[in-house]
A and B are shown apart, each in its own frame.
Chain A
Amino acid sequence: MKKHLTMFAVIAVIVLAVAPLAGCGGQQDDQDQRVVVIGSKPHAEQYILGEMIAIMLEEHTDIEVERNFGIAGGTANLHPAMLSGDIDIYPEYTGTGWMFVLKQDLIADPLEMFEAVRDQYQADFAITWLDPLGFNNTFTLAVPRQLAEDYNLVTFSDLAAISDQLVFGAEFDFFERDDGFDALAATYNFNFKNIREMDIGLKYQSIGGGEVDVINAFSTDGQISLFDLVILEDDKNFFPSYYAAIIIRSEMLENYPEIEEVLSMLSGQISDAEMTEMNYQVDELNREAADVAREFLVSKGLIEDR
């Protein structure tokens, strides 16, 4: 249902964006038209962050905003789109940029990793990282609460001891990334009975329905409480930190310096708990990402209530 609404929202935005052009009857393209394209990956948190960026720009600047949310494949397709200029701004995570895009080795200290990824992106891609938004949406593993209680599971290592009785499920890219399944299984000696690869949107449904016993999850996923799962502790610090930050094509910032000024207001504003709660609102309560984002911005005094 939510997907339909999102789809509808996307279509509505396109129609609304195109309608004035058609209505104006042969008006020439305005070269001064200031348009930035905001992208996002295809999950609730990214839709919410994308909306926050869009709303902040709409409220504080006269730049026209185009929402191109929910890009399939996430970073794998957003990063090329940033390089080609099809997307100007999107929310990214430090660990993803450093390890997946730049293919560098893990830096354990989160701040050091942020500085490294920021500098490297600027040098290699002319993409600017604003200061992180505050929360760390790291990878983790989740199991049903009942299973955790039955086997007294607290850490990944506890899980490894009984992994040969369990089915593991994750989305396709988790099996291909360097900080993904193979390396994880090697670190903890996981030896799952069976492995299921599926669309990321089906992961929670399938663990909820008992089709799989363990899934990879993001620590701020709203569905974790919905499906009564518990998160296990990464006791060997396998997964890097994934602090979210807004990244922008530097060319856009040269043309419209006010973007940096406005979006930097979001830095350090969102805690883990606040992000999880917003994800919960969208994933579990089926609220619109735009409404949730706007409420949050109002509550923080970043925009005015309407």
Chain B
Amino acid sequence: MLYMYKEVISMEAFLDLLNLFAQRRELVTQALSQHLWLSFMALTVIMFLGIPLGIMISRLRKLAPLVLGFTGFLYTIPALAFFGFMIPFLGIGVRPAVAALIIYGLMPLVRNTYVGISEVDKAVIDAARGMGATNWQLLRDVEIPLALPTIVAGFRTVTVMTISITTIAAFIGAGGLGTIILRGITTYNPPLILVGAIPVALLALTADGLLGLLERGLLRYSKGLSAGRKPSPQAIGPAGSA
């Protein structure tokens, strides 16, 4: 029966696979849209929760080790165990799946937001303060714009991770491309496993690529920002060297 795995690699098998995609079109489209929806819901919440949380702990530094430690701890729990853990509280289906995805994806975004803001050049902050910026202005006009590339990089990590972990949500009845993979595994049908796995990989790669472009764009933008808005180096003394 091992020959089935070898078969997958040949040209003929590749055509068979395309055929299978065509045959199971309906299943794939349905699973794909469920997958996108699950990932999208989780990522939206992660974004609106993770970035403020990261900003908050950059203000209240004492909380940082606690929050980062806790989200980091959540991150170490195996994904499958995490989904299982949700069942007693939220039952099965979409709700527990999205909840698990959110809790799971929070850590990289909180950390990156926090790190991005913490690492804004002290000289830039001093300069802004010297110009009379309030805390809010400092955050809005200086720190967040400069931290944006790091924040987006964090969001990119979370996005790819969430798309791949959403696969596991199928175990608890949330649907998505994982159902196709699990159908393939439980019926010993390797081509069917690929019909589920390939779209997951393509989805993750596409999201990664798009966010990569955004990240590069922002990096250029924030470089321009810090070069343009930064007061002349002489004014702040030894810190400036550009």
Which residues of A sit under 8 angstroms from B186, Cβ to Cβ? 72-74, 76, 171-173, 176
Q: Which of A77-85, A158-166, A285-293 contacts B (4 or more CB under 8 A)?
A: A77-85
Q: Say whether B187 contacts A73, CB under 8 Å.
A: yes
Pair B187/A202 contact, Cβ less than 8 Å: no
Closest A residue by C-beta to B176: A197
Least Cβ distance of B82 to chain A in Å? 14
B185 CB contact (under 8 Å) in A72, A83, A202, A211: A72
B187 touches A196 (CB 8 A): no
Q: Which of B86-94, B130-138, B151-159, B201-209 contacts A (4 or more CB under 8 A)?
A: B86-94
Of B91, B171, B173, B185, the most chain A CB neighbours within 10 A belong to B173
- Is B189's CB under 8 angstroms from A196's CB? no
Contact status B187-A173, CB under 8 Å: yes
Besides A72-B186, A169-B173, A197-B182, 20 new A-B residue pairs in contact (Cβ under 8 A), listed by A number: A76-B187, A76-B188, A77-B188, A79-B1, A83-B1, A84-B1, A172-B179, A173-B186, A176-B189, A197-B173, A197-B179, A198-B172, A198-B173, A199-B171, A202-B172, A205-B92, A206-B91, A206-B93, A211-B93, A211-B173
User: Can you give 24 contacting A-B residue pairs, CB < 8 Å?
Assistant: A72-B185, A76-B187, A76-B189, A77-B188, A79-B1, A80-B1, A172-B182, A172-B183, A172-B186, A172-B187, A176-B183, A176-B187, A196-B93, A196-B173, A197-B173, A197-B175, A198-B172, A198-B173, A199-B182, A202-B87, A202-B172, A206-B93, A206-B173, A209-B92
Chain B residues near A (Cβ < 8 Å): 1-2, 87, 91-93, 170-173, 175, 179, 182-183, 185-189, 192
What 5 pairs across the A-B complex have the smallest Cβ distances?
A76-B188, A198-B173, A173-B186, A80-B1, A172-B182
